[in-house]
Structure 1
Amino acid sequence: MIRVLVWNEGEHERMDASVQAIYPDGMHAVIADGLREHLGDEVEVRTATLRDPEHGLSEEVLAATDVLLWWGHMAHDGVDDAVVERVHRHVLSGMGILVLHSAHFSKIFIRLMGTTCSLAWRNDGEQELVWTVAPGHPIAAGIEQPLRIDRQEMYGEFFDVPAPDELVFVSSFAGGEVFRSGMTYRRGRGRVFYFSPGDQEYPVYHHPQIRRVLANGVRWAHPGESARELPTVTNPPRTHA
């Protein structure tokens, strides 16, 4: 059983009627439903939001989470630094994390990457094509080539992140831009997958293929049965000839 927590700020849904119309129960609810749809009995899925006590990310909750999905946009600064450090420690100890869309500017992603994580963007609601560039990667299993999103916010290069361990997807846009839209990293014992499609103004998380990508990402990021612990180094005893 993969224990999954879908975390979402939940602020756009509170404040914007157009977002409420697309995600009446929040983006986290739609993402969670997609994981249950594709993974069934493989997963136990819970959700949490910014306004929950400790943002729904207490020590006990994280200890019981194998893979965390993180969506944030307008309230990155509202996430308590102590909670960020707690999540960071759990990732280094083996918890997987999927960082979604504008969570590239989240405190936790910047902490994991060690860069500004800035990028080019514009929001003209144009077509995005997501191209698989690593067809043998498990996250790309069953994904159309290209994956077509009719309307989406444009993200473009330069994306200030470290070179990924694996580049899985590259997106192109009607305006001509390209973007590294699906990348994996290892941090400590944890696996990190960044996936960019998913602006709040469009029904991207209802898209069957996007839901499959996220399900594949959860499978890939799952730490397995290994114990949750920080990497440690033990110096061997000195020997003398």
Structure 2
Amino acid sequence: MSQPIRVTVWNEFRHEQTSEKVRSVYPDGIHRAIGEGIEGDFAIGYATLDEPEHGLTEEKLASTDVLIWWGHKAHKEVSDEIVDRVHKRVLDGMGLIVLHSGHFSKIFKMLMGTTCNLKWREADEKERLWVVSPGHPIAEGIGEYIELDREEMYGEHFDIPQPDELVFVSWFEGGEVFRSGCTFHRGQGKIFYFRPGHETYPTYFNPQVRRVIRNAVEWAAPTGRPKPVYGNYKPLETIKAKQHS
């Protein structure tokens, strides 16, 4: 029997401790809502900003197949050393799912190589996430779209590299659109950015949002393929000596 995919859900866990509005929506933390939403076939662990090494020790990352990242107000407080550690693990094959305002996290910006900036607005508006790649495994079990009654708006232009695949595009009640489900490959690692999830809305209790995250974990999990060989390399065939005139 194969081992379950090992998932670590990382969250700043700051809003829930300082805002009654957020705490009323996520009393146990956003990370717990995300983890509980994908329970079943995965081995799920948690890590938060204020733990030693942000909960992302060498040992923790070595035993993580897919890391889910939610951050917002404390991106600058994440240690560069830990960012480098996560970056190395992604290049070595660990999957990474970046949610909502994690677009401004140090690790996502490092992997993208751009500002990852965008337009935003909080106006309790409807969001409709259209599936634009219906055959993609991350969209498995989702209809033509996911509709959220209230969300924060993110609008184009989203300053990211061209995604390898675009799975969802959002439309907002105010008229904006946004590339809200994007895949990338870096080294041996697979990355999925998924837009919805503002801290004052119960988005991570939505069954379809939870299904997307579950699908993304399965998609992003390492393949087990050996790491490529780099550097000076012995020839596979005999190289015949050439005569020089």
Q: Determine the structure 2 residue equivalent to 1:87.
A: 86
Are 1:188 and 2:187 counterparts? yes
CA separation in 2, counterparts of 1:137 and 1:57? 30
Q: Determine the structure 2 residue equivalent to 1:179.
A: 178
Paired residue type of 1:142 = G
* TM norm structure 2: 0.93
Q: Secondary structure at the match of 1:48?
A: strand
Larger Rg belongs to: 2
Deviation at 1:232, TM superposition (A): 4.1
CA separation in 1, counterparts of 2:229 and 2:159? 29
Q: Secondary structure at the match of 1:103?
A: helix
Q: Determine the structure 1 residue equivalent to 2:132.
A: 133
CA separation in 2, counterparts of 1:186 and 1:232? 18
Q: 8 Å contact 1:144–1:209 — kept in the other structure?
A: no
CA separation in 2, counterparts of 1:24 and 1:139? 28
Q: Secondary structure at the match of 2:138?
A: helix
Deviation at 1:145, TM superposition (A): 1.6
Q: Secondary structure at the match of 1:18?
A: helix
Are 1:25 and 2:54 counterparts? no
Are 1:14 and 2:17 counterparts? yes
Q: 8 Å contact 1:166–1:184 — kept in the other structure?
A: yes
Q: Determine the structure 2 residue equivalent to 1:217.
A: 216
Q: Determine the structure 2 residue equivalent to 1:151.
A: 150
Q: Determine the structure 1 residue equivalent to 2:69.
A: 70
Q: Determine the structure 2 residue equivalent to 1:118.
A: 117
CA separation in 1, counterparts of 2:137 and 2:145? 16
Please list the CA deviations of residues 63-117 of structure 1 after superposition, one character each: whole Å capped at 9, or x if unmatched: 0000000000000001000000000000000000000000000000000000000
CA separation in 2, counterparts of 1:7 and 1:232? 31
Deviation at 1:177, TM superposition (A): 0.3
Q: Secondary structure at the match of 2:162?
A: coil
Deviation at 1:134, TM superposition (A): 0.3
Q: Secondary structure at the match of 2:38?
A: helix
CA RMSD for the aligned pairs? 1.1
Equivalent pairs, count = 235
Q: Secondary structure at the match of 1:29?
A: helix
Q: 8 Å contact 1:70–1:100 — kept in the other structure?
A: yes
Q: Secondary structure at the match of 1:235?
A: coil
Paired residue type of 2:119 = A
Q: 8 Å contact 1:130–1:169 — kept in the other structure?
A: yes
Please list the CA deviations of residues 155-186 of structure 1 after superposition, one character each: whole Å capped at 9, or x if unmatched: 00000000000000000000110000000000
CA separation in 2, counterparts of 1:206 and 1:219? 19
CA separation in 1, counterparts of 2:44 and 2:64? 9
Q: Determine the structure 1 residue equivalent to 2:141.
A: 142
Deviation at 1:144, TM superposition (A): 2.3
Correspondence list, 1:45-60, <5 A: 45-60=44-59
Q: Determine the structure 2 residue equivalent to 1:100.
A: 99
* TM norm structure 1: 0.95
Deviation at 1:131, TM superposition (A): 0.2
CA separation in 1, counterparts of 2:210 and 2:203? 9
Give the structure with the larger helix fraction.
1
Q: Secondary structure at the match of 2:167?
A: strand
**Long gaps (5+) in structure 2:** none
CA separation in 1, counterparts of 2:229 and 2:77? 32
Are 1:233 and 2:230 counterparts? yes
Q: 8 Å contact 1:5–1:47 — kept in the other structure?
A: yes
Paired residue type of 1:20 = R
